[in-house]
Structure 1
Amino acid sequence: MFSKKIFFLGFIMLASGLFAQQSGTVEPEFLKFTNSKWVDSIMKKLSPDERVAQLIMVAAYSNRGEEHRQEILKLIEEQKIGGLVFFQGDPVSQAKLMNDYQLVSEVPLLGAIDAEWGLGMRLDGTISYPFQMSLGAVQNDSLLYEMGQEVARQVKRSGLHINLAPVVDVNNNPGNPVINFRSFGEDRENVSRKGIAYMQGMQSEYILTTAKHFPGHGDTDTDSHLALPQINHSRQRLDSIEMYPFRQMIRAGIGGVMVAHLDIPSLDSSGVPSTLSKKIISDILKDSLDFRGIVITDAMNMKGVTKGKEPGVVDEEALVAGNDLLEFTEDVPRAISEVRKAVKNGLISQQQIDNRLRKVLALKQWVGLDKYEPTSIENMMQDLNNPQAVYLNHQLAEASVTLLNNELLPLRRLDTLKVASISVGAEKQTEFQDYLELYTEVSHFQLPADAGKKQIDSIKEQLENYNLVILGLHDHSKFPRNTIQYSEENREFLKSVFQQKNVITALFKNPYTINDLENIEDSPVLIASYQDSQITEEVAAQLIFGGIGASGKLPVSIGQKFRAGDGISIDGIGRFQYTVPEAAGMNSEILVPQIDSLMQDAISQKAIPGGVVLVARNGKVVFHKAYGLHSYSDTIHVEKDDLYDLASVTKISSALPAVMQLYDQGKFDLQAGIDDYLPYFKNSNKAGVPFRQILAHQARFKPWIPYWQNTLRKNGSFKWNTFQKDSSARFPIKVKEELWLHKNYKHQIFKAIKQSPLEKEAKYKYSGLLFYLLPSIVENLTGDEFRHYIRSEFYDRLGATTLGYEPMERFQLDRIVPTESDFFFRHQVIHGRVHDEGAIMMGGVSANAGLFSNANDLAKLMQLYLNMGEYAGERFISEETLKEFSKVQFPENDNRRGLAFDKPNLEYIGEDNNTAKDASSDSFGHTGFTGTMVWMDPQEQLLYVFLSNRVLPTRENTRLYRLNTRTKIQQALYDAIKTGK
């Protein structure tokens, strides 16, 4: 990456020097081959007719079947054409066809394609980068250079050599029906810089780049595909605006220029299309602008040039006018015949044709066709959709998003917000809405584009319950046209909503539509995303919550509402960014298949029925995937937002953050004992035992107590004063249907803990006893109910809305993954209630177990720990406290534990180690009995969350441990880091 940037900077310095000097031109590199031995050898073989044919490129498709293939083969074999311009299809079929066509061509064929925003413009299954108007908003031009390189690599990989891009028309007409979003914008300097960066990236990979549409197609309201547009500006105006980017690109070394079909009286008063104008092509482009590269026509089947002209005749006129390559010739034999007549009649000389042919052959040699080899089909789709290309797409989308108004972002104090989102122009929940709810609880609504009064009134009524409204304006059309098709009722509704103080508007459409929506400029937050795609919707949601910042600048003016260059820059605040592994220096080609393989192996061996894995590095979630089913006999697939019983991960996720916060406040002393905060424990064998020892599992406490066994009579029935079949004031705690626990049974648990004997030796022995007591200690120290305290102090502020106790109070059962089939206590499948017997007898609320969460929300708390107490710009716990609690406390006693946190074994013990081999000694986390694991490594800023229900159907299933799935996945993260740098 470093070398790429140095290379790019060199180009930029060169380009800057050219701008400053306003003189001199970098000659296209391929011209050095015009008199090469290979070119000479080809020239000698070609007849006069064949020399003309080499200047013709016909349209080819990879989705039209055998008849079309035979037509192209015939043209190649009989007419000896020089190249093909590919349109719709798919890359594998295209490459196979091109191989077939090259096989029968005596002179290697040039292959071209319109890939303005990448191969996705034409080919299925390939990457579409942002449209050029989006790119016009990007402030880091090196990203466009990298895009040029990647697009060039993909064009080559698909067997082609020319990209008919970029568009460098200055779009200064909002009503332009054909350029518009395909332009970098209305500012000639910005268009020039972007065009040069894109061009230099492509040409560094030996792909001919074609600036289009000369002399400038930006200021027209006519589509040249359908008719001949007329541009009535003066020569001075055209020189200073429309032709300016072409001039700069020529000076910077552009290899190709495409000529538009335009009627421009000030340049040629004859009325002929510019494609057929010698004054425009030969006199202006070649002579005045000193362009020595390849001049290519726009498609010769477009109405703007064909009206009143016969196929073949129009091609001859284009060649006579000065074009070097003819694109989309419809009648090749007639075109060759007409050109030969023109030579005979003195309209064009054989020498002129030969000179142009030498340039075309030189281009063929420059792109490597003198050493032609067939294109390999193997792994083509993987190569075209490679991780770096996908990552670059994310970078460009993030860099383009533009904040036009901002009174609210980034959102803070999530605990004070009640959020509603409305996707206008959508029939179902959008990707934008999916990503919004990754940050906090959001209620979603949709309003179709043609919504009527009844639908709108229903939403209006419900909005009264929210203090923040997020609007997403969509139409999900393939291209971001400059019109918006909303019903009048929708428009009136939006008009009023835009003026509210609590509204965020994200426009996933062409920014010109801002001028068509009344009052949108008053929206307290207005985000321009330029187009509607999965990535732009993801990015906008992340901007709203501070996962990323904004740096884009509007590339066009919007009436009187906004000017080109407008855009407010803000930084993210450290909430999760959701992106790809490469964004965090991880290799997705290692990470993804290894995790997939390990999870599928665990599922196939019935170690787990399913699970969720989340990986974050440097605050970026780079992997988040669900696998398998809720249970082996189930048909419910695991979803990423499903809730799992966290088991002992609760120990570091509930009371512990409260204890650390209280420690910061001087209210909790690690040298104090339980009896200092719970007087009930005075005069017990636990009195005076320091919390430091207890939290480090070195206090001689028993590992656990089977509390539920104390409720049984000898005949197996429950004692009358413990459980009843019906609820009542005395028996309010539901353990299962027809099983209600006495309200004071928690005292029996405390009594059992108090009376339990101590182990003989003060050494490491894992114990959960303290964690039954911690909620009461927190309540005594804060004066607040435990659940309310941890939710208000941590979970709500983090936006961790699924993290909590008793999930059935808040969520549908089908979102909660079941755990064990309990045949010895509750005698049922445990589903929706805590698996741990002691925790359920605490009413489901214990610091030992009881928390449920999805992976994403749990990760927010773990990221707080990894950040040493901070998240989203808020300090929750001091850095010193996190470091103290997460370090090994008693290594001299062969005890690896921190304070509640688990740590790696002091010495690595092979496959049975509790962490991956590469986990650092600074790392910390915890595992859970149900098959959960969280782990944080400050050295690599790495976070790992693993959720499963390995105890289904029975806790006796220990295959997950024997397979070491969790630690093997963890090692894959380190492998991905080592190979991703």
Structure 2
Amino acid sequence: MRKISVTAFLFSFVSSVCYSQNKTSFIESLQQNNAWVDSTFKHMKRRERIAQLFFVRAHTDKGKAYEDSVADLIEDTRVGGLVFFQGGPVRQAALINRYQKLVDVPMLISQDAEWGLGMRLDSTISFPYQMTLGAIQDNNLIYRMGQEVGREFIRMGMQVNFAPDADINNNPKNPVIGYRSFGDNKANVAAKAGAYMKGMQDAGILVSLKHFPGHGDTDVDSHFDLPQLNFTKERLDSLEMYPFRELVKQGASGVMVAHMNIPALDNTPHLPSTLSEPIVTGILKKEIGFKGLIFSDAMEMKGVVKYFPNGEADVRAVIAGNDVIELSENTDRAIHLIRKAIRNHRLTWDRVNESVKKILTAKYWTGLNNYQATNLQNLTADVNRPEALTLKQQLSDAAVTVLNSDSLLQNVNYNAKTAIISIGVTDITPFQADLKAKFSNSMNFVMSKTATAADMNAMLKQLKTYDQIVLSVHDTRKRPQSTLDYSAGLKVFIAELSRLNTITCVFANPYTIAGLPGIEKSKTLVMNYENNEMGQRSNVKLISHMMTANGKLPVSINSFYKNGDGLQVTLQPAQMTGNAQ
């Protein structure tokens, strides 16, 4: 059985290497004659051509009735692709195999997997968030992550990843981007997104940079309403659109357009950028010169359908220049309305056919012209390779950012009376469990988010009897928000501990530091960006003098800590005694 798994992996690896060395890029392939594309296009009925523009939603966690309803839609419409959401790897690959049998022209299978398969699928790897990657100084690590994500996509039978996020998160209160961005520096965002993009494309999958022309400086989530960007064209050109321009030059295969109203680019009231011909065709296609696939953001989002309901948004998205209409509220209705728009001369067949041929070329480029069903044997093992887990730890280690450092970290005493306290949790953390083994005279403490003032006062009194403190601050929520859900009292407690002989480690969104006044008093302050075991393991290695810290802040937090801050800390191997050996 294992032999099959190794063979499957080697095939994927060799295929990706051969691809990057021998095949033209997707953008280059669009300029070449292609007999398969021409023949496939010629044999399609007009309704089937329109259907190629639509990618519909698919899940493996909603039961058989839901799966059957998607199968019925695929058979009825012959859509161009699917967007898979939550589920499991084997269930999803099996369902992809089932769905692909229903069509003559294989579908492009896509997923929104910014940090890898684990963003959507259980039993798979979640790589670090893009904000964490923004702190890394070795972009080759990010390129390697892109390659690994690409390999895993191919092993799953998928061809398109709606990543990377090329938004510049210059609004700390952004409710929808935040940790999904590489940071607030346009050059760093472009470099990191470029490394991730190139890794995936070199592995043989298509990408979709998002969210053009830039969703980083909004305070409205377009899933629920239409954000408005009231910036000048000059500001948008020089900042928001900078990463997109740079990555288009580098051969980006796809771009996703956001649902935002931008009066400086199109002053039509309430018009989302997705539906704007001046933005999609005028700027992205003509001004920037993008030739690849243009994806709409999800067309079921309130930011687009609030002002253009009942399928009108789908029609306008095609008129505007989008090639792929992602997640229409009603695909059947949309196909009918597009045909009607052509009859009414709002839209031309040339505009539709241009997108159809581009989509068919994407299918050819990703090998769907020779489609083969996904082998399910040992699939879970193949998308959890030890090499990928090692890379994940390397990425975590490389992101560790030391903001304050004095002699305490350099000369940490592993025999001194040491308190190791985790805040915001209810149980001993992996960080504490691993670190306690390094200190011969240590005690673990936990302070939950619901602790009373009396609890905090009693613990503070006890902690003052210790020679040194290792304090960890945790955000246990599923996604790292820009502010911690801590009480005012707990924040004061952190400030009091920071005044002592303390190493403070933050396992949370970097913006949370702005809401913890006094934490800058810590003798050592270490930023880890997210709360997971690998991040905690990285900090144990740092405090144990087993690694060097090289990370730099990808965002500006407050007057104390700015973008690019981060001390390069090289530590001598620790001399440990007692139970620390």
Quote the offset at 1:549 in angstroms.
Answer: 1.2
1:177 aligns with 2:149: no
Name the counterpart of 2:6: none
1:557 aligned partner: 556
Closer, same or farther in 2 for the Cα pair 1:51/1:492, shift >3 Å? same
Deviations 1:17-54 (A, max 9, x none): xxxxxxxxx87244255x31111111111111110001
1:416: Cα distance to partner? 5.1
C-alpha spacing 1:414/1:522, structure 2 compared with 1 (3 Å): closer
Map 1:535-546; keep pairs closer than 5 Å: 535-546=534-545
The CA deviation at 1:72 is 1.3
Q: Counterparts of 1:242 and 1:76 in 2: how far apart (Å)?
A: 37
Contact 1:27 / 1:292 at 8 angstroms: preserved in 2? no
Query: 1:41 is aligned with what amino acid?
Result: S
What is the one-letter code of the residue matched to 2:464?
E
| 1:956-975 paired onto structure 2 within 5 Å | none
Q: Does the alignment pair 1:799 with 2:566?
A: no
Alignment-derived partner of residue 114 in structure 1? 112
Q: Give the equivalent residue in structure 2 for 1:286.
A: 285
Question: Is 1:269 aligned to residue 46 of structure 2?
Answer: no
Q: Secondary structure at the match of 1:507?
A: strand
Matched with 2:4 is: none
Match of residue 357 from structure 1: 356
Which structure 2 residues correspond to residues 590-601 of structure 1 after superposition, within 5 A?
Answer: none
1:883-937 superposed Cα distances (whole Å, 9 cap, x missing partner): xxxxxxxxxxxxxxxxxxxxxxxxxxxxxxxxxxxxxxxxxxxxxxxxxxxxxxx
Q: CA shift at 1:454, angstroms?
A: 1.9
Query: Do the aligned partners of 2:414 and 2:438 also contact (CA within 8 Å) in 1?
Result: no
For 2:220, the equivalent position in structure 1 comes to: 222
What is the aligned length?
559
Distance in 2 (CA, whole Å) between partners of 1:29 and 1:156 is 21
Distance 2:26 2:101 in 1: 32
Shift of 1:411: 4.3
Query: Which residue of structure 2 lines up, in the alignment, with residue 783 of structure 1?
Result: none
Task: Give the 3-state SS of the residue equivalent to 1:443 in structure 2.
Answer: strand
Letter in 1 for 2:275: L
Tell me, in whole angstroms, the C-alpha distance in 2 between the residues paired with 1:241 and 1:212.
15
Deviation at 1:342, TM superposition (A): 1.6
Report 1:419-438 matches (<5 A): 419-438=418-437
Which residue identity is paired with 2:455?
A: Q
Q: Which amino acid aligns with 1:570?
A: V
| Aligned partner of residue 420 in structure 2, secondary structure | strand
Residues 192-249 of structure 1: CA deviation (Å, up to 9, x unaligned): 0001100000000110011000000000111111110111110000000000000000
Match status 1:105 vs 2:106: no
Q: Is the 8 Å Cα contact of residues 27 and 253 (structure 2) preserved in structure 1?
A: yes
Q: Aligned partners of 1:572, 1:157: CA distance in 2, in Å?
A: 41
Match of 2:43 in 1: 45
Letter of the 2:516 counterpart: L
Work out whether residues 410 and 545 of structure 1, in 8 Å CA contact, stay in contact via their aligned partners in 2. Answer: no
- TM-score (norm: length of structure 2): 0.94
The equivalent residue for 2:329 is: 330
CA contact (8 A) 1:58 1:330 kept: no
Q: Counterpart of 2:358 in structure 1: which amino acid?
A: K
Q: Distance in 2 between matches of 1:97 and 1:574?
A: 51
Distance in 2, matches of 1:509 and 1:540, equals 13
Alignment pair present for 1:250 and 2:248: yes
Q: Secondary structure at the match of 1:28?
A: helix
SS class of match (2:30): helix
Tell me the amino acid that sits aligned with residue 475 of structure 1: D
Partner of 1:381: 380
Q: Distance in 2 between matches of 1:542 and 1:528?
A: 14
CA deviations over 1:925-961 (Å, ceiling 9, x no partner): xxxxxxxxxxxxxxxxxxxxxxxxxxxxxxxxxxxxx
Deviation, 1:346, is 2.0
Amino acid at match of 1:242: E
Shift of 1:415: 5.3
RMSD between superposed Cα atoms in Å:
1.6
2:522 match? 523
Match of 2:343 in 1: 344
Counterpart-to-counterpart distance in 2, 1:54 and 1:544: 55
Contact 1:233–1:266, Cα closer than 8 Å, also in 2? yes
Q: CA deviation at 1:118?
A: 0.4
1:511 aligned residue:
510
- 2:433 aligned partner, one-letter code: D
Q: Whole-Å Cα distance in 2 between the matches of residues 503 and 191 of structure 1?
A: 33
> Structure 1 residue 265: deviation in Å?
0.6
CA distance in structure 2 between the aligned counterparts of 1:408 and 1:278, rounded to whole angstroms: 59
Structure-2 separation of matches of 1:29 and 1:572: 48
Residue identity opposite 2:538 in structure 1: V
Tell me, yes or no, if the aligned pair for 1:473 and 1:509 is still in contact at 8 Å: yes
Q: Does 1:85 align with 2:83?
A: yes
What is the distance in 2 between the residues matched to 1:30 and 1:179?
32
**Cα gap change, 1:125/1:416 in structure 2, threshold over 3 Å: closer, same or farther?**
closer
Runs of 4+ in 1 over 3 A off after TM superposition: 408-413
Q: Which amino acid aligns with 1:561?
A: F
Give ranges in structure 1 of 5+ residues lacking alignment. 12-25, 576-797, 803-856, 861-981
Following superposition, the deviation at residue 107 of structure 1 comes to: 0.8
Q: Which residue of 2 aligns with 1:238?
A: 236
Q: How far apart, CA to CA, are the structure 1 residues paired with 2:133 and 2:28?
A: 27
Query: 2-side partners of 1:191 and 1:464: how far apart?
Result: 43
Distance 2:117 2:407 in 1: 38
Secondary structure of 2:145's counterpart equals helix
Query: What is the percent sequence identity of the aligned residues?
Result: 43
For the residue of structure 2 that corresponds to 1:281, the secondary structure is: helix
User: What's 1:370 paired with?
Assistant: 369
Which of 149, 152, 157 matches 2:150? 152
Cα distance in 1 between the residues matched to 2:399 and 2:284:
32
Structure 2 counterpart of 1:262, one-letter code: M
Deviation at 1:433?
0.4
Please give the per-residue CA displacement for 1:547-598, whole angstroms capped at 9, x wherever unaligned. Answer: 11100000000121211000001124234xxxxxxxxxxxxxxxxxxxxxxx
Counterpart-to-counterpart distance in 2, 1:421 and 1:523: 14
- CA shift for structure 1 position 70: 1.3
Mapped partners of 1:413, 1:103: distance in 2: 62
- Distance across 2 between alignment mates of 1:799 and 1:574: 9
Give the aligned partner of residue 816 of structure 1. none
Query: How many Å apart are 1:409 and its aligned residue?
Result: 5.2
3-state SS of the aligned residue for 2:335? helix
Q: Is the 1:548–1:573 Cα contact (8 Å) retained in structure 2?
A: no
Matched, 1:210 2:208: yes
Q: Distance in 1 between matches of 2:439 and 2:522?
A: 22
Residues 417, 466 of structure 2: 8 Å contact kept: yes
1:677-720 Cα shifts (integer Å, max 9, x gaps):
xxxxxxxxxxxxxxxxxxxxxxxxxxxxxxxxxxxxxxxxxxxx
Tell me, in whole angstroms, the C-alpha distance in 2 between the residues paired with 1:518 and 1:314: 46
**8 Å Cα contact 2:415/2:577 also seen in 1:** no
The offset of 1:76, in angstroms, is 1.3
Deviations 1:295-327 (A, max 9, x none): 000001111001033243211111111000011
State the TM-score, normalized to the length of structure 1: 0.56
The residue number in structure 2 matching 1:186 is: 184
Q: Tell me the distance in 2 between the aligned counterparts of 1:488 and 1:171.
A: 27
Q: Secondary structure at the match of 2:94?
A: helix
For 1:205 and 1:265, locate their aligned partners in 2 and report how far apart those are by CA, in whole Å.
Answer: 39
Q: Distance in 2 between matches of 1:66 and 1:427?
A: 38
**AA in 2 matched with 1:183:** S
CA drift of 1:348 comes to: 2.0
Counterparts of 1:78 and 1:321, CA distance in 2: 26
Matched, 1:459 2:236: no
Q: Distance in 2 between matches of 1:412 and 1:316?
A: 66
Question: Which residue identity lines up with residue 117 of structure 2 in the other structure?
Answer: L
**Kept after mapping to 2: 8 A contact 1:403/1:528:** yes
Partner in structure 1 of residue 63 of structure 2 = 65
Matches within 5 A, 1:2-41: 28-32=27-31, 35-41=33-39
Inter-partner Cα distance in structure 1 for 2:52 and 2:361: 12
Kept in 1: contact 2:163–2:210 (CA 8 A): yes
The equivalences for 1:471-510 within 5 A come to 471-500=471-500, 502-510=501-509
> What do the CA deviations read for 1:596-616 (whole angstroms, capped 9, x no partner)?
xxxxxxxxxxxxxxxxxxxxx
Greater Rg, structure 1 or structure 2? 1
Pair 393,256 (structure 1): closer, same or farther in 2 beyond 3 Å: same
Q: Mark the CA change 1:279 to 1:489 in structure 2 (over 3 Å): closer, same or farther.
A: same
- Give 2:451's aligned amino acid: A
1:196 partner letter: G
Q: What stretches of structure 2 of length at least 5 have no aligned partner?
A: 1-12
